[in-house]
Amino acid sequence: MRKHGQRGQCIKRVDKTYLLRVPLGHDETGKRRYKNETFHGLKKDALERLTAMLGEKDSGLCLEPTTATLDEYLDRWLDLMETRIGPHAHSDYAKLMRLYVRPVLGKQPLAKVGALEIEAIHSDMVTKGLSRRTIEYTHVTLKQALQHAVDRDLLPRNPAGKVKPPKPNAKPKELRAFDQDQAAAFLESAKADRLGAMFLTALTTGMRPGEYFGLKWSDVDFEKSTVTVQRALIPFGPDGWSFALTKTEKSRRIQLPTNTVQALRDHRRQQAAERLKAGPDWQNHDLVFCTSVGGPLEIRNVTRRHLEPVLKAAGLPKRFTLYSLRHSNATLSLAAGVNVKEVSERLGHANITMTLQNYSHVLPSMQAAAVEVWQRISSGN
């Protein structure tokens, strides 16, 4: 018998066959537990494998493949990830596993999770009408978890590696947008909110929430009344958030109305006062729109603490979202006769076709206006 650092054992059985044992503590009855593995080969190779097994134990992922379920593995993986990623990202990982993976495969032995089982998760999510983004993010997270198991020799290969998430056939969501009266009521109500300037900027520029969340003061040109969109804030990364290129992977410059420019000036003065009050607790990310201590905003918090109160005060339905501000900019601009190409560029669409597909419902009214114009011209009026 050969001990390895007093923590594991390499026990010779027959010629070139060894039993490798790593202690795993005690079970609920007090009985000592081990991870056992039979190794065929030279002794020096057996000792190398034993060292790897001890490393798995140190990582918190040393499991007995015959008894470990996916639930048990995910518990330990999430515990390990808690020290490596931010709290918000960790919360998202745990939520996706809890809602979509564990109910379908949680009781399945880790060693028996294969491509068919992962496709069953996808099918379940499609049946529930979940968005393509949610399905893809769940798949990526599970794939990351299983790859960690492969790296620790708990699985021979990643079963999610060759599985592609399906494209849901669900009908596209209705794009909810304000009419002119609703937009005016919303902006009047937003003036009393700490993020009023953000709501005005969102509605008058058509930016995506991630884009104005990621906007920096260096992107604002007060002299030219423009803002340059070149990044987006996303809720994933080592700090729980990170910056990413915009969807079109190139910056775009948007002209601002005079009242938006003035609102941003006032907002900058308000932020300076907040920074002074926060003192050393201020998080200096140069963000235009941020928390009261300079931190990045989150859609869920902004919706609950700011958007919903503003909607309520304006007498507007709760069904409107932050994306409704973007859709409102597009529909109101198109209805006012703004050129479709100009609207497409402000929205940051990859091409004009995308704009026409998303906002085709506005075009009939534009055509009616065009018919009226040509009717007057052709009749000599």
| Residue type present at position 346 | R
With bands split at pLDDT 50, 70 and 90, how would you rate the model's confidence at 125? confident
In degrees, rounded to 5, the angle at the alpha carbon of residue 190 between the alpha carbons of residues 188 and 191 is 70
**Domain residue ranges in the chain:** 2-59, 70-151, 180-370
Residue 163 CB coordination number (10 Å): 19
- pLDDT of the residue at 69: 86
Please write the tens of the pLDDT for every residue from 276-301: 999 999 999 999 999 999 999 998 89
Average pLDDT over residues 115-134: 83
- pLDDT of the residue at 206: 92
Fold match flag (70-151 vs 180-370): no
| 379 has a pLDDT exceeding 60 | no
- pLDDT of the residue at 67: 67
Q: For the range 4-13, what are the long-range contacts, defined as Cβ-Cβ under 8 Å and sequence gap of 24 or more? A: 4/47, 4/50, 4/51, 4/54, 5/54, 7/54, 7/57, 8/50, 8/53, 8/54, 9/50, 10/43, 10/46, 10/47, 10/50, 12/43, 13/38
- pLDDT of the residue at 59: 62
Q: Which of 9-13, 85-89, 169-173, 221-225 has the highest mean pLDDT?
A: 221-225
Helices (H), 206-253: 209-213
| Residue type present at position 340 | V
- pLDDT of the residue at 282: 96
With bands split at pLDDT 50, 70 and 90, how would you rate the model's confidence at 5? very low
| Residue that wins the pLDDT comparison between 127 and 308 | 308
**CA–CA distances in Å: residue 147 to residues 160, 184, 303:** 8, 51, 35
| Residue that wins the pLDDT comparison between 158 and 339 | 158
Average pLDDT over residues 33-53: 84
| 31 has a pLDDT exceeding 80 | no
Residue 55 CB coordination number (10 Å): 13
- pLDDT of the residue at 48: 87
Distance CA(120)–CA(115), nearest Å, equals 9
With bands split at pLDDT 50, 70 and 90, how would you rate the model's confidence at 248? low
Please write the tens of the pLDDT for every residue from 194-206: 999 999 999 999 9
With bands split at pLDDT 50, 70 and 90, how would you rate the model's confidence at 161? confident
Q: What global pTM score does this model have? A: 0.57
* Cβ proximity of 70 and 60 under 8 Å: no
Instruction: Give 371's contacts (C-beta < 8 A, 6+ positions apart).
Output: none
| Residue that wins the pLDDT comparison between 249 and 265 | 265
With bands split at pLDDT 50, 70 and 90, how would you rate the model's confidence at 60? low
**CA–CA distances in Å: residue 245 to residues 134, 182, 211, 239:** 20, 32, 9, 17
Of 361, 310, 287, 293, nearest in space to 203 by CA? 310
CATH class of the domain at 70-151: mainly alpha
| 249 has a pLDDT exceeding 90 | no
Three-class DSSP category at 100: helix
- pLDDT of the residue at 370: 47
Which two tokens mark 73? Answer: 């593995």
| 115 has a pLDDT exceeding 80 | yes
Which two tokens mark 52? Answer: 């790897």
DSSP3 helix / strand / coil % (the chain, rounded to 5): 50, 15, 35
| 241 has a pLDDT exceeding 80 | no
Q: Which of 12-26, 130-144, 348-362 has the highest mean pLDDT?
A: 130-144
Tell me what the pLDDT averaged over the chain comes to. Answer: 83
With bands split at pLDDT 50, 70 and 90, how would you rate the model's confidence at 26? low
Distance CA(187)–CA(203), nearest Å, equals 9
Beta strand spans in 230-351 (E) = 232-234, 242-244, 252-255
Please write the tens of the pLDDT for every residue from 64-106: 554 678 898 899 889 888 877 777 778 888 888 998 999 888 8
Give me the architecture of the 180-370 domain, per CATH: Orthogonal Bundle (1.10)
